[in-house]
Amino acid sequence: MRHFTPTNGQMMVENVNLSAIANEVGTPAYVYSAATLTRHYNVFKKAVSAMDALIAYSVKANSNLAVLRLLAKQGCGADVVSGGELARALKAGIPANKIVFSGVGKAEPELRAALSAGIFQFNVESIPELDLLNSIAVEMQTIAPIAFRINPNVCAGTHEKICTGRAENKFGVDIADADAAFERARNYPGIAVNGIAMHIGSQIDNLAPFASALTLGAGLIERLRAAGHRIETFDIGGGLGIPYHAEETAPPEPLQYGELVHRLTDGLGLKMIFEPGRMIVGNAGVLLAKTIYVKQGGARNFLIIDAAMNDLIRPALYDAHHDIEPVTTPAADTEMVSYDVVGPICESGDTFTQNRQLPEMQAGDLLVLHSAGAYGAVQASQYNSRPLVPEVLVSGDKFALIRERPSMEDILKTESIPDWV
C-alpha cells in the first residue's frame, strides 16, 4: 500500500513533486498523502463492516489536526491516551461519543476533562484508576462509562518495546483479576460498565496473537455475563502490522484480520471497537530529507542527511527499518553503494540504517524514508536545538503546510533567564 512512486524520474506524492515541496518548505519535512490516508481508513472500515463496529483511530500514531480532521470527515472516532490528545480529537471535530480513552496513568484533570466532554468509554487499566474515576464522576454528578482493559498475557511476537499484552507489561488489569475488578465496579454509583478492552501490542505481523486474545476475551465475556454483568463492548485495540520492506512478505491484510475478529466474536451480540493507528497512517507518509555530505569514513561510507533521530526516532528506539529512496530516479548506469545513512546529531544512535545498498548519492540530493507516517512526527523532539520537523499534507495537485517549522526565535522565547542568574 505504497503511493509514493516515481513518475518521469521524480518521486511524486499524489500529483505533487517532492522537489517542489522541498523548495517551498525546506527539509527535513514529513509529507502525507490525503488520498492514501482516506483509502486506508476505508479499507479498514470495509474489513470490519460485517460487525457493529466503532473505529477509534489511535491518535498517538499521528496526531496532526489536519490528519484528524480528514479522518473525522470519514466518520472515524478516536482512541486517545492523554488530555492533550482528547483536546486535539475534539478540536478536529471527532464527536465525543466516538472517543475512547486508554492509558495506564490518566491523571485527575484528564479524567475530569473526558467526563465533561462526555466520551464514549474510559478503558480503565487499574483498580486505583477505577476508584478515582468513580469518585470524580459522583462529585460531578455524572456516570463514567467504562471498559476494563484486560492484560491477557499474550505474546504479540513483536519488538520488546511495543509488546503490551504480557503479564510483565504495565498495561491493563491482569486477566486473573478481571472478575474481581468487575465485581468492585458493579456497586459504584459513578461507574457504568460497557465491556472489556485489550491492546496487545503494535506492528503485529501475524494473526495468531489476535486469535489468542480474542478467544480469551470471548471466554471472559461469557463468564462475566454468567455472573450477571452487562457486557456490550469488546475493544480489541490496534496493532495490525504494516509492510515496511518493499521486498518482504507483508503482514496480514485488514480483510483477513476483520474476518478473524468476526469469526471469534460472532453470536456474542457485541459492539466491537477497533483502535488502528499505524495501519491507517504508517504508509501514508514519508520523511523527506536532503543529503548534506557523503563522507568516506575509516570503514564505512556515510550518507549524512539533514533528518536525524530527533525527527524520526523509530530506527534508534525500535531498530526499525525504513526503505530509503532518492527523489530523483537515478540513471540506469548509476553505481550501487553501501551506505550508513546517518543524521547530524551527536550520538552514534543517530543512524537510520547501516550498510544499505543505495544508488550513489551526491551532496544536495533529496531522498525519502518511506513508511514514516506513524510514530514519526509525533515522537519528534528539538534535541540538539533542531527545530521541530514540519508536516505537509498533499491532496491531488495541492499541498499545505499543516505544522510549521518553528524559528529559532520561537524556540528561544519559551525560555527565560532568572534575574538571579
Ligand X SMILES: *Cc1c(COP(=O)(O)O)cnc(C)c1O
Binding site for ligand X (CB under 6 A): 58, 60-61, 79, 81, 102, 199, 202, 237-239, 275-279, 374
| C-alpha to C-alpha distance for 97 and 328, rounded to whole angstroms | 46
Nearest to 392 by CA among 27, 8, 2: 27
Give the shortest CB-210-to-ligand X separation in angstroms.
12
Give the shortest CB-394-to-ligand X separation in angstroms.
22
Residue 2: CA count within 13 A, CB half-sphere: 20
Q: How far is CA 108 from CA 39, 90, 237, 303, in A?
A: 37, 19, 23, 47
E-state strands within 89-239: 99-101, 121-124, 144-151, 173-174, 191-197, 233-235
Question: Identity (one letter) of the amino acid at 145?
Answer: P
Q: Which is nearer to ligand X, 94 or 342 (CB)?
A: 94
Q: Which is nearer to ligand X, 159 or 300 (CB)?
A: 159
- φ/ψ of 110, rounded to 5, equals -70, -40
Give the shortest CB-216-to-ligand X separation in angstroms.
17
CB-based contacts of 288, cutoff 8 Å, min separation 6: 18, 21, 22, 27, 28, 29, 30, 31, 327, 366, 367, 368
Grid-cell match 498523502, residue found: 33
User: How far is residue 352 CA from its own chain's centroid?
Assistant: 19
Q: Which is nearer to ligand X, 92 or 303 (CB)?
A: 92
Grid-cell match 546517518, residue found: 342
Q: Which of 76, 155, 163, 346 is catalytic?
A: 346
| C-alpha to C-alpha distance for 76 and 53, rounded to whole angstroms | 11
Give the shortest CB-379-to-ligand X separation in angstroms.
12
Q: Which is nearer to ligand X, 98 or 199 (CB)?
A: 199
Q: Which is nearer to ligand X, 191 or 374 (CB)?
A: 374
Q: Is 76 annotated in the active site? A: no
Give the shortest CB-158-to-ligand X separation in angstroms.
9
Active-site residue set = 346
